[in-house]
Amino acid sequence: MPEGDTVWNTAHRLREVLAGRRLTGSDFRIPRLATTDLSGRTVLDCVSRGKHLLLRLAAPDDRRYTLHSHLRMDGSWRTYRLGQRWTARPAHQIRVVLRTGESVAVGYHLHELALVTTEREPELTAGLGPDLLGADWDPAEAVRRLAARPETPVIEALLDQRNLAGIGNVYACELLFLRGVAPGTPVREVPDLAAVVELARRLLVANRGRASRSITGLPGEASYVYGRWRRPCRRCGTAVRRVEPAAGRVTYWCPTCQPGPVAAAAPPARRRPPAAGHRPR
């Protein structure tokens, strides 16, 4: 599941393969960009901002552009050598192909794919809070934003990218387990919000650059509670529980290690897709 560390790693890989190279071809497989041709543009950089990916380009006339994508729950970028088979995902999931003289970058099931002038880049991420993996990370501002809505269940506050950018469901569940906080605890009742934010940063930094994410640091045991429904808690042996709240994200927690309220479940049949103007991801 792509979270802030996944997107950072993706940006790093694309930067290694594409930066400084001129595109020899592009193929957009979404209607609004179907006629776009990036041939001749030079890739300047690729950076992540929370869970957003920004690929910066320069045209031959030196005009600057940014190709924006969001991985959400199921998107990914893969790189291949010229002539290598594209085996990562089914072909019908391809949304964009970028070619250079040495390699190919393929974007699968990407969301919010857009090409804008680089001067408009801030508009794409304007609603985001401090980036946990950003050079301008501001923990005090992240705490302030989280505390601004004291009645919000803490797991919802952590997932709200307006508060801090980069946490997804895996990190939210694991973070709260490590802090011994129940997912439904109102933000105002979280004992040390600054410590929660500090731990979030440490976890993402620890997994930045890793081939596979691990919260526990133990071989073959990547998580404490996430994805471990009905299995014994690694600390106390109590069966891990799960609930699916209205946002559609499954929450995992240990009722013994994390005593307290849990966000109410929503009937799966009643879920609806996000409406237009939904909050930043």
> How far apart (Å, rounded) are the C-alpha atoms in residues 116 and 106?
19
- Choice among 3, 121, 156, 174 that is catalytic: 3
> How far apart (Å, rounded) are the C-alpha atoms in residues 247 and 224?
22
- Choice among 121, 249, 280, 281 that is catalytic: 249
Please choose, from the candidates 27, 15, 80, the residue with its C-alpha nearest in 3D space to the C-alpha of residue 53.
15
Query: What are the two backbone dihedrals, phi and then psi, of residue 174, each rounded to the nearest 5 degrees?
Result: -65, -40
3-state secondary structure 27-88: EECCHHHCCCCCCCCEEEEEEEECCEEEEEEECCCCCEEEEEEECCCCCEEEEEECCCCCCC
Place of tokens 């409406």: 275
- Choice among 41, 51, 145, 228 that is catalytic: 51
Is 51 considered catalytic here? Answer: yes
Determine which helix (DSSP H) or strand (DSSP E) holds 105, and give its type and residue range.
strand 103-108
b/e code 154-185 from CB counts within 10 Å (16+ = b): bbbbbbbbebbbbbbbbbbbbbbbbbebbbbb
Is 249 considered catalytic here? Answer: yes
Q: Tell me how many degrees the CA angle 192-194-197 measures, rounded to the nearest 5.
A: 115
Strands 42-49 and 52-58: antiparallel
> How far apart (Å, rounded) are the C-alpha atoms in residues 37 and 24?
10
Q: Burial of 247 by CB count in 10 Å (0-12 exposed, 13-18 middle, 19+ buried)?
A: middle
Is 130 considered catalytic here? Answer: no
Is 2 considered catalytic here? Answer: yes
The catalytic site residues sit at 2-3, 51, 249
